[in-house]
Structure 1
Amino acid sequence: MKKTIVFTLMLGMTVMFLAGCGGTASPAPTAAPTATPTATTQTPAPNNNAAAISPEQAKAIALQQAGIAEADAWALKVEQGTENGRHVYEVNFKYGGKEYDYDIDAATGEIVKQDIDIDD
């Protein structure tokens, strides 16, 4: 009985794996229309490492998310860093026996990482 269940599960997983590997064939390329030259102006690509928010704004975002006033937080520190290739502000502070750690995307202000630990 166990062998039948194991075999059925393995067969089902194999079918799902093979179904996931299958893809649709791309259509055959067609003749591209001839392009006529036009004048274009290039705008520089945005710099993903450029900060759109300031360290002060990152600090305010983290404190607001935690629901803590800046005057109540201690050991407050804001540093620049990277998280998964993103330029972030690392905001760390302590309050009420807990240590708060936030990574705020420097371009968008999005909270990338949030961690709250009991302070030892």
Structure 2
Amino acid sequence: MNYGLWNFKDRNWGVRPVYTAWANLTRHTKAGDIVYGCASSAPGHVEAVRVGKFLFWVNQADRRVQVKIQGADPVSAHAYTESILSGDRECGITLDPQDGLWPLPATSFGRMDL
């Protein structure tokens, strides 16, 4: 993954995945919001933080994982991967839970609305 926010002129200044992750966080939070770390049963693979009514997560594993959110009942969830990014706005996919488990795509990041 490239860590700059934009590509160079020869690639039409397109946004990179880290831009979308950063934009996702900053569009749904404001200065002064308290960020709460979340415990993970798979640290190093799935990490998350809660800010207000949102849970922001990243799945660093190279495979899809199923997660159960304890202490909150997500209303909806959106995931982003390098292969589905286009533009700089909502370009992810909507996740659908099955039996209380949320499927997080491999090497993805996203947001759950609580």
Is the structural similarity TM-score above 0.5? no
TM-score bracket relative to the smaller structure: under 0.3
User: TM-score, structure 2 length as denominator?
Assistant: 0.27
Instruction: Pick the structure with greater CA Rg.
Output: 1
Q: TM-score under structure 1 normalisation?
A: 0.26
